[in-house]
Chain A
Amino acid sequence: MNERENIFGRIREALRVKAPVPGSHYPKPGGADGQTVSEAEAAKHIPEWLPPVGETFGQRVELFKENALDLKAEFQLLDDPREMETQISRLAVREGWKKVASHSGELTDRACAVLAMPRLVADRNYDVRELESCDAGISECEALIAQTGSVLVSSRSSGGRALSALPPHHIVLARREQLLPDLPAAFALLRNKYASGYPSFISFITGPSRTGDIERILVLGAHGPKKLTILCV
């Protein structure tokens, strides 16, 4: 507790001298108005500066698709849940899955039902090595973000922390109404849904895991999934 007080003491002592506001090298002359800025005022404008997202659902789907392509993620907009079942069976055959992991949820249960193979349900305590040996992790999500092509997941909606990180292929099952325009909308959603208690883990997943650490050459599949497939119904 002592160091805490020492640090606060030094901070308060330091802040007795005012720092110039950004954008000017020296405090603006005149009243106090020009000498301070507030987070609340500044943050209001955030959506105005970020990349544009389009007005209609169609435009936003197009933008999401374009971003997914750029990120080397697979995105498909499907007409109904049955088509989702077909797609997922096709993937399982193509990649020769032997075992999948998922959490229980309406979409995940439906998808796993058509896969005639062992399923690890990550709702309860699970064995990490078993999860590691699964060929795919199938999860739902909180939202999709058109602006960046991201999938928003949390420990509450998407089967915990490791399900979407450990298996080599992450399958996201989403609904069309989950497509949000931009990042501010995603944070607003989190605030509305969880203000009384946030999940201990929330993540924006933007494409399959990657590294550029060797000569800045892009390699997909670093420590997380090599593939990311988003099926939206």
Chain B
Amino acid sequence: MSAPAQQFKHDAERLTRDLRHRSLIQTGLKKYEAARDAKKSRYRDWQSARQTAAEIKWDAINHLDTYLEEFVSKLEDRGSCVHWASTGEQARQIILGIIREKNARSIIKSKVMTGEEIHLNEALEKAGLTVVESDFGEYIVQLRHEAPYHFVFPAMHLVREEISELFQERLGSKPTNDPEELMMIARQVLREKYITADVGITGANFAIAETGMISITENEGNARLTCALPKVHIALMGIEKVIPKLEDLALFLPMLATAGAGQALTCYNSLYSGPRQPGETDGPEEFHLVLLDNKRTHLLADAEQRDALHCIRCGACLNVCPIYRNVGGHTYGTTYQGPIGSVITPHLRGLQSWKHLSYASSLCGACTEACPVKIDLHHHLLQSRRNATAQRPIWWERFAFKGFAFVMNRPVLIALATRLARVGQKFHPLIKGTRLDPARAWTRSRELPSVPRQTFKEFWQSRKK
């Protein structure tokens, strides 16, 4: 078993028994569900909206080269610098290069999942720079030296008491259990950071090819300040974020808000098309955009699962996933958690080490149903299982399935096996749950169903007599 698989198994076992964790997540997600359903019901036709969104994304991803070229040339026309990175290491070097050239010391960041993906903060800190996360949830997990628990709700696993304690310890604030007061503490600390930061780093939710804009969706206003106050703005985004036309946002912005957080529209949806232009009163002097591949083209090459690149990172599939709800976000050990993370991580980080995530699913299909751009998530998990086995077959699995097929194809053997099982089960309590128990993985936490005294066939034959 790979190291990530062992870690997953270990953490999943611990967290599924943690009732406090479970009730916290379920309560949070119940609120989300109620809000989402109310907002969804206002659409004239949510299913058609999904189909349209899927078609627009299909067009964008299947003509990615054309749209990327258009996007980049429009951006460059407006005085922005575009950088290309095939790997995370290249992206880190590009960003460090820009920062060093500007002699910048302090950096303010608004939520960038791509940054988490390439471990940007660690690299910047190692280079002696101060990096502060400005999204409230991200700020909390940064102070705790933790990864985000959920790529939309990073601090969902914490209660206010824990946040209060954290702030007392790290910021010297007074104890309070009022969420509003806690937010105010962070607001005050971060205000100063925005004003004094030399560089602001953001991500992007969409890139509009036709106009050369990036679109950033947020509720707090932290990204707006990050793009307004520092002299240099660096945006880091994956190459798959591009959409063809400005008007496409009329669909994607409300769908992202509704599916992701149960809102009609997220508080701020801002479009940036370069640095401060002549005649404008504020904004950065320089705008740099770093376009990251980091194995996205590997996923693009898999035509069967290519639609996973349509993802708009709303997090709806995590919120409805029975596995996510029980094992929690950190258990995945990935940047992108939940069903979408389980689909894309094997492409981004290697199939054999991450194939266990394709089994972190009940295949119920709730994720596929929830996805606003209709990614066929649960089928992709099945395909990954198939691909992993085809790539590296496991001898005992093959042997076991051959044996199984051999028995199942022979009625005499099935009858014999049933009879043996009936006898064998009488002795099972002697070894139940011990190392000798062949069904140990099951019986550790569950009862084994008893073999019926009579099979249907036997019953039928006895009736005929």
A interface with B by C-beta (< 8 Å): 3-4, 6-8, 10-15, 17-23, 25, 36-39, 41-43, 45-52, 67, 70, 103, 122-126, 128-129, 132, 147-150, 155-156, 159-162, 165-166, 182-184, 186-188, 190-191, 197-217, 219-225
Of B273-281, B329-337, B443-451, the one with at least 4 CB within 8 A of chain A: B273-281
* Contact status B301-A213, CB under 8 Å: no
A20-B163 CB under 8 A given contacts A7-B84, A149-B264: no
A224-B280 CB under 8 A given contacts A213-B137, A216-B32: no
* Contact status A187-B246, CB under 8 Å: yes
B51 in contact (CB, < 8 A) = yes
Q: In the complex, which residues of chain B have a beta carbon less than 8 angstroms from the beta carbon of A132?
A: 191, 195
Distance, CA A20 to CA B58, complexed state (A): 9
Q: In the complex, which residues of chain A have a beta carbon less than 8 angstroms from the beta carbon of B84?
A: 3-4, 6-7
* Contact status A183-B270, CB under 8 Å: no
* Contact status B48-A25, CB under 8 Å: no
A150-B265 CB under 8 A given contacts A22-B374, A165-B224, A213-B153: yes
* Contact status A162-B303, CB under 8 Å: no
* Contact status B221-A224, CB under 8 Å: yes
* Contact status A211-B220, CB under 8 Å: yes
Q: In the complex, which residues of chain A have a beta carbon less than 8 angstroms from the beta carbon of B136?
A: 211, 213-214, 222-223
Residues 45-78 (chain B) with a chain A CB within 8 angstroms: 45-46, 48-49, 51-52, 54-65, 68-69, 78
* Contact status B183-A214, CB under 8 Å: yes
Q: In the complex, which residues of chain A have a beta carbon less than 8 angstroms from the beta carbon of B276?
A: 155, 200
Distance, CA A6 to CA B49, complexed state (A): 35
B interface with A by C-beta (< 8 Å): 24, 27-28, 31-32, 42-46, 48-49, 51-52, 54-65, 68-69, 78, 84-86, 90, 134-137, 140, 153-156, 158-160, 163, 179-180, 182-184, 187, 190-191, 195, 211, 213, 219-222, 224-225, 227-229, 239, 243-251, 253-254, 261, 263-277, 279-283, 291, 293, 297, 300-301, 303-304, 306-307, 310, 374, 376, 379
Q: In the complex, which residues of chain B have a beta carbon less than 8 angstroms from the beta carbon of A38?
A: 55, 59
Q: In the complex, which residues of chain A have a beta carbon less than 8 angstroms from the beta carbon of B300?
A: 10-11, 14-15
Distance, CA A48 to CA B52, complexed state (A): 11
Distance, CA A217 to CA B85, complexed state (A): 39
Interface hub of A25, A209, A221, A222 (most chain B Cβ within 10 A):
A222
Distance, CA A221 to CA B303, complexed state (A): 44
Interface hub of A12, A15, A70, A159 (most chain B Cβ within 10 A):
A15
* Contact status B271-A3, CB under 8 Å: no
Q: Of the candidates B44, B213, B304, which one forms a contact with A48 in the assembled complex, judged by CB atoms under 8 Å apart?
A: B44
Q: Of the candidates A39, A123, A210, which one forms a contact with B281 in the assembled complex, judged by CB atoms under 8 Å apart?
A: A123
* Contact status B271-A202, CB under 8 Å: yes
A187-B247 CB under 8 A given contacts A22-B51, A149-B264: yes
* Contact status B280-A213, CB under 8 Å: no
Distance, CA A196 to CA B219, complexed state (A): 30
A39-B56 CB under 8 A given contacts A198-B273, A219-B179: yes
Q: In the complex, which residues of chain A have a beta carbon less than 8 angstroms from the beta carbon of B48?
A: 45, 48-49
* Contact status A42-B56, CB under 8 Å: yes
Which 9 residue pairs across A and B have the least CB separation, nearest first? A224-B221, A222-B220, A22-B54, A161-B228, A160-B281, A49-B49, A213-B137, A14-B301, A10-B297
Pairs across A and B, CB under 8 Å, 28 listed: A11-B239, A25-B376, A43-B247, A46-B52, A49-B49, A50-B251, A126-B282, A148-B254, A156-B279, A159-B281, A160-B228, A161-B228, A162-B224, A184-B250, A198-B211, A201-B272, A205-B267, A206-B265, A209-B220, A213-B136, A213-B154, A214-B160, A214-B183, A220-B180, A221-B187, A222-B136, A223-B136, A224-B224
